[in-house]
């Protein structure tokens, strides 16, 4: 039997789940031009290694600005027993996003903006050229509290983070990922938020929005994202900070669209089944 693993925990799938995957791969073989020897796709499952799609890095060259909500509602939702800290869960999430990309001076670069009642550029695109450096910079961001000034965060991102003096490179795709657990507050900031999001997108920046908890304004979250503004593609929601990391795979996959994913272990050929969240490597014999 080939190695079939659950992407959420990297553990072997159950026998019943294995047969479901086998059936789906047989369907894939029937409806695509890919054929195994004599068309016996399922019979030659031993010739396959199935790898988590999260493993291959994004091969797109990007300048990425992370926009992080540090308003008071974040720790207001902390559990009374202090068993975990939402702010640390949020920082862990954005730090784990970095692992999807090849970070370097001539590869993907990261900058970060943090906001509450005000917004500031934490570090520019030309400060860290290793994943370890970026993650260290993210981990050192102090919690702020206060209200949610989303329009100011978008303005700082457009005017400072994506600026050539701060490492933004001509000819390189720009991506902004905003992570928030609420909505612009007070409400008077909402129209300005929509305007600033439009200005950021009009400047050539692709926007991906992540909303946490049932207190988010999903329509506002949608308006923050790039077209076609579809849930699960351009913007994402999760019930709380504890489950935030469960959507990391989808966020990074869509952030890398379009792109070619190929695993270094694939010595002969490979293909991706995004619908099944699988990367399949073919072996000889």
Residues facing 108 on adjacent strands: 103
pLDDT given for residue 43 in this prediction: 38
Neighbours of 48 (CB within 10 A): 21
Higher pLDDT, 209 or 264: 209
Q: Is 38 helix (H, G, I), strand (E, B) or coil?
A: helix
Q: 273 falls in which pLDDT band (50, 70, 90)?
A: very low
List CB contacts of 244: < 8 A, sequence separation 6 or more. Answer: 89, 90, 93, 210, 212, 238
Residue with tokens 């490492």: 167
Is the domain defined by 62-255 classed in CATH 3.40.720.10? no
Q: What is the DSSP letter of 279?
A: E
Q: Is the peptide bond before 5 cis (omega within 30 degrees of 0)?
A: no
pLDDT > 90? residue 180: yes
Alpha carbon dihedral 241, 246, 248, 254, in 10-degree steps, equals: -120
pLDDT > 80? residue 39: no
Mean pLDDT of the chain: 78
pLDDT given for residue 106 in this prediction: 94
Residue with tokens 């991706």: 272
pLDDT given for residue 127 in this prediction: 97
The boundaries of every CATH 3.40.50.410 domain in the chain are 62-255
Q: In three state form, how does the secondary structure of 222-252 look?
A: HHHCCCCCCECCCEEEECCCCCHHHHHHHHH
Higher pLDDT, 282 or 236: 236
What does the alpha-carbon distance between residue 51 and residue 141 come to, in Å, rounded to a whole number?
Answer: 34
What does the alpha-carbon distance between residue 123 and residue 138 come to, in Å, rounded to a whole number?
Answer: 9
Residue with tokens 């600005």: 65
> Is the Cβ–Cβ distance between 100 and 54 less than 8 Å?
yes
Neighbours of 160 (CB within 10 A): 18
pLDDT given for residue 53 in this prediction: 41
Higher pLDDT, 232 or 6: 232
**pLDDT tens digits, one per residue of 58-100:** 878 999 999 999 998 888 888 899 899 999 999 999 999 999 8
pLDDT > 50? residue 276: no
pTM over the 0.85 mark: no
> Is the Cβ–Cβ distance between 280 and 4 less than 8 Å?
no
Q: Is 109 helix (H, G, I), strand (E, B) or coil?
A: strand
What does the alpha-carbon distance between residue 210 and residue 208 come to, in Å, rounded to a whole number?
Answer: 7
């Amino acid at each position: 039997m080939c190695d079939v693993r659950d992407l959420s925990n990297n553990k072997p799938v159950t026998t019943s789940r294995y047969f479901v995957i086998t059936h789906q791969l047989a369907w894939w073989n029937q409806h695509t031009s890919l054929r195994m020897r004599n068309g016996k796709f399922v019979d030659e499952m031993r010739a396959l290694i199935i790898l988590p799609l999260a493993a291959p890095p994004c091969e797109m060259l990007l300048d990425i600005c992370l926009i992080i909500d540090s308003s008071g509602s974040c720790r207001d939702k902390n559990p009374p027993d202090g068993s975990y800290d939402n702010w640390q869960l949020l920082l862990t999430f954005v730090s784990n996003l970095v692992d999807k990309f090849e970070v370097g001076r001539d590869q993907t670069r990261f900058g970060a903006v943090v906001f509450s009642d005000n917004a500031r550029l934490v570090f520019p695109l030309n400060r860290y050229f290793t994943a370890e450096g970026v993650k260290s910079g993210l981990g050192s961001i102090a919690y702020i509290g206060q209200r949610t000034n989303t329009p100011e965060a978008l303005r700082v991102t457009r005017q400072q983070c994506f600026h050539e003096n701060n490492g933004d490179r001509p000819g390189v795709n720009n991506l902004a990922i905003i992570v928030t657990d609420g909505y612009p507050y007070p409400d008077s900031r909402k129209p300005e938020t929509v305007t600033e999001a439009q200005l950021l997108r009009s400047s050539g920046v692709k926007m991906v929005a992540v909303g946490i908890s049932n207190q988010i304004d999903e329509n506002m979250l949608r308006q923050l994202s790039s077209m076609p503004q579809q849930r699960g593609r351009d913007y994402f929601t999760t019930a709380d900070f504890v489950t935030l990391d469960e959507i990391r795979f989808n966020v990074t996959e869509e952030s890398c669209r379009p792109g070619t994913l190929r695993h270094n272990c694939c010595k002969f050929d490979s293909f991706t089944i995004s619908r099944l969240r699988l990367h399949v490597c073919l072996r000889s014999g």
